[in-house]
């Protein structure tokens, strides 16, 4: 997720751009850049573009600030703060990107799915691409349309019609120094004005200090923004009335886009994070495509065992990945706690694939486990949310979740993105090893592709989950039980309740209770049983009976319409049904919301829970 901003009609556009980028930094901070349309000089020189970019992560905007003195007279400009998805976090990949003439500048948030085909066509036509990004193709496509005589807004309309994927784009053009063009599909884009200015931004936070006369562009709508005026059309050029945005927030709330805190915002961003993570990688027939993987079929085809390594929520995702790899790719696979793995003297070789799963890509335990695996000759793969992170650089191959920056310390949208990315990779291995037939692969791909919608439906039940939270808010000791896939869900649910609500919550394999822990069950006990409707259903229902027989309050997480479980449990958290092995991404939603609601009731800081850090860089 990146942040874009544009302004026209400003006496000092750089002020508006840099101030807005500061307020967009929470959307990504790998790099930042600005481009100004320098006004014609007194010496008769024509208008031109002036661009500055910086890729020093959180210092990038500060570095741009230092170039103020060199800025030309201008009234129009665009800016960008980047969360890398395609291409390393380097200055060459930083936005704004320009065309060959250097007269067109573009900033983009989203993923252009057909960028490689477009780039090949542009290069064949003689364009020189200067970056590894998908976004740069837009500048060159606009250049071609302008060369055909289109104005900036018309050029933007024509180019938008060629793009596939999600995008929010702002374009500046040296020969139209008082105009910006903006176009969006799925990625958010706001346009606005005052009597003398026109603005474009990814979200309200960036321009709230400039104007509240704001409008949200709809899909495939193009805005022509000029000082004090803006006109919106569809891709055919038909005028459209944009939707006004009513703003009752302050800036901080605007960064949370109206949510109380980043935790609830990120829980609700999960459908989008899943969509972005799967975009362009999974096809309906089960075929998979990972352009950044760099582990070829020969290497992957020789793998004879897989070890999936992580910490915390990433370890829980690792367990699901391990189950999918074993079940679909028929490869021996284990999930390993990183801090244990590296001291277990693991026997590895080049046919061992060690997958390091890490949102930050910087966790010390996981990073050292990865290094130990490499030292012992294993083939390594990093699954991470941060392009160019330590692990991304260290591993032989990398796969990126595309959840955007996760600000809340407790992992939610990154965790579910890890789940689906690991499952898509398991599908990739299965296809390589021909261990799934075409129908099975297609069925699983369809199931994966349906997860964003199912997660959105589960989020729609947050009222129901809140009612359950109210019933157990006083509990100080909760058992989370499940079997097989359900046990991985139980572990993540227990962790969320611990780290957000500070409740002692322990996850057990439900079959283990009778081997000791059931001695703890009495009338004060609260147990949450993850009732996945697979082959183990009867055993899970028997576990529920055992708990009830000893007086425990039993909550059940169950599929919608599961009457058997509802008849037995005291309270039910219903989730939309899906294939059992795909269910963790959906089943974890009520558990996140349960922990969140209880934490809020207890007055906890849900974005920064006590004693925790977002990245644990110590062992």
Q: Which of 60, 411, 462, 597 binds ligand AGP (CB under 6 A)?
A: 411
Residue 311 catalytic? no
CA-based R_g, the chain, Å = 26
Residue 19's contacts (CB-CB under 8 Å, 6 or more residues apart) are: 209
φ/ψ of 12, rounded to 5, equals -130, 80
Residue from 363, 401, 491, 532 touching ligand AGP (CB under 6 A): that is 363
Among 366, 380, 578, 604, interactor with ligand AGP by CB under 6 A: 366
Does 395 bind ligand AGP (CB under 6 A)? Our answer is no
* Cα–Cα distance measured from residue 91 to residue 87, given in angstroms and rounded to the nearest whole number: 11
Name the token pair of 253: 């709330």
Decide: is 360 part of the binding site for ligand AGP (CB under 6 A): yes
| DSSP annotation of 288 | B
Per-residue 3-state assignment (H helix, E strand, C coil) for 332-393? CEEEEEHHHHCCCCCCCCCCEEEEEEECCCCCHHHHHHHHHHHHCCCEEEEEECCCCCHHHH
Count of all residues that appear for the chain in the document: 619
Contact range with ligand AGP by CB under 6 A, out of 108-116, 122-130, 286-294, 312-320: 312-320
Q: Convert residues 317-356 into a mask of x (bound to ligand AGP by CB under 6 A) and - (unbound).
A: ----------------------------------------
Distance CA 104, CA 181 (A): 11
CB 81 within 8 A of CB 27: yes
- Helix (H, G, I), strand (E, B), or coil: what is residue 49? strand
Residue 358 binds ligand AGP (CB under 6 A): yes
CB of 505 to ligand AGP, least distance (A): 13
**Residue 265 annotated among the catalytic residues of the structure:** no
Q: Is 311 in the site for ligand AGP (CB under 6 A)?
A: yes
Q: Give the bridge partners for 553, in sequence order.
A: 526
Number of residues counted as binding ligand AGP (CB under 6 A): 15
270 binds ligand AGP (CB under 6 A): no
Candidates 499, 574, 580, 607: give the one binding ligand AGP (CB under 6 A).
499
Supply the minimum distance, in Å, between the C-beta of residue 593 and ligand AGP: 14
Cβ closer to ligand AGP: 109 or 314? 314
Angle of the 270-278 helix axis to the 584-601 helix axis, nearest 10: 150
Q: How far is the CB of 61 from ligand AGP (least distance, A)?
A: 24
Is 593 near ligand AGP (CB under 6 A)?
no
Task: Please tell me whether residue 98 binds ligand AGP under the rule CB under 6 A.
Answer: no
Would you say 430 or 589 has its CB closer to ligand AGP? 589
Least Cβ distance, residue 609 to ligand AGP (angstroms): 8
Among 109, 131, 313, 583, binds ligand AGP (CB under 6 A): 313
How far CA 570 is from CA of 305, 403, 483, 587, in Å, comes to 43, 35, 20, 18
| Residues noted as catalytic | 2, 614
Question: Which parts of this chain interact with ligand AGP (CB under 6 A)?
Answer: 311-314, 358-360, 363, 366, 409-411, 499, 615-616
């Amino acid at each position: 997720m990146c942040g874009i901003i544009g302004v026209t009609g400003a006496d000092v556009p750089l002020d508006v751009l840099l101030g807005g980028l500061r307020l967009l930094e929470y959307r990504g901070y790998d790099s930042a850049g600005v481009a100004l349309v320098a006004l014609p000089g007194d010496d008769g020189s024509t208008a031109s573009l002036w661009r500055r970019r910086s890729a020093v992560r959180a210092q990038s905007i500060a570095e741009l600030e230092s170039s103020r003195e060199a800025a030309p007279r201008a009234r129009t400009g665009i800016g960008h703060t980047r969360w890398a998805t395609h291409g390393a976090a380097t200055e060459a990949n930083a936005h704004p990107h320009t065309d060959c003439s250097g007269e067109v500048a573009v900033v983009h948030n989203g993923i252009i799915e057909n960028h490689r085909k477009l780039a090949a066509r542009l290069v064949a036509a003689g364009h020189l691409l200067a970056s590894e990004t998908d976004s740069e193709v837009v500048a060159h496509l606009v250049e071609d349309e302008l060369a055909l005589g289109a104005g900036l807004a018309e050029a933007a309309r024509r180019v938008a019609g060629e793009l596939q994927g999600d995008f929010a784009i702002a374009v500046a053009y040296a020969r139209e120094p008082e105009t910006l063009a903006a176009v969006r599909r799925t990625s958010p884009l706001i346009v606005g004005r005052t009597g003398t200015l026109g603005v474009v931004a990814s979200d309200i936070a960036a321009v709230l200090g400039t104007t509240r006369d704001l409008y949200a562009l709809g899909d495939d709508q193009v805005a022509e923004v000029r000082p004090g005026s803006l006109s919106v059309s569809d891709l055919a050029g038909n005028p459209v009335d944009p939707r006004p945005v009513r703003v009752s927030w302050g800036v901080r709330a605007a960064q949370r886009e109206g949510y109380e805190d980043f935790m609830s915002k990120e829980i609700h961003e999960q459908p989008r994070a899943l969509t972005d993570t799967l975009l362009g990688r999974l096809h309906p027939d089960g075929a998979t495509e990972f352009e950044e993987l760099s582990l070829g079929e020969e290497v992957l085809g020789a793998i004879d065992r897989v070890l999936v390594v992580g910490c915390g929520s990433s370890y829980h995702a690792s367990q699901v990945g391990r189950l999918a790899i074993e079940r679909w790719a028929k490869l021996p696979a284990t999930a390993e706690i990183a801090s244990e793995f590296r001291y277990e003297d693991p026997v590895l070789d080049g046919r061992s694939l060690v997958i390091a799963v890490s949102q930050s890509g910087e966790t010390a335990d996981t990073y050292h486990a990865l290094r130990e695996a490499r030292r012992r000759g294993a083939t390594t793969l990093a699954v991470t949310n941060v392009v160019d992170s330590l692990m991304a650089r260290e591993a032989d191959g990398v796969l990126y979740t595309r959840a955007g920056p996760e600000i809340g310390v407790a992992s939610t949208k990154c965790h579910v993105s890890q789940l689906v990315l690991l499952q898509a990779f398991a599908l990739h291995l299965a296809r390589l090893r021909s261990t799934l037939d075409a129908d099975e692969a297609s069925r699983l791909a369809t199931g994966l592709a349906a997860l964003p919608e199912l997660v959105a439906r589960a989020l729609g039940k947050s009222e129901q989950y809140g009612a359950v939270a109210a019933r157990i808010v006083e509990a100080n000791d909760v058992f989370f039980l499940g079997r097989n896939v359900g046990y991985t869900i139980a572990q993540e649910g227990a962790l969320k309740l611990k780290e957000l609500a500070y409740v002692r919550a322990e996850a057990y394999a439900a079959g283990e209770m009778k081997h000791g822990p059931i001695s703890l069950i009495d009338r004060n006990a609260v147990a949450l049983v993850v009732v996945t409707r697979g082959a183990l259903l009867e055993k899970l229902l028997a576990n529920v009976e055992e708990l009830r027989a000893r007086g425990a309050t039993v909550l059940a997480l169950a599929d919608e319409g599961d009457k058997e479980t509802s008849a037995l449990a005291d309270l039910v958290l219903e989730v939309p049904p899906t294939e059992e092995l795909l269910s963790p991404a959906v089943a974890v939603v009520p558990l996140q919301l349960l922990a969140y609601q209880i934490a809020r009731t207890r007055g906890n800081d849900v974005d920064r829970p006590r004693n925790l850090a977002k990245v644990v860089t110590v062992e």
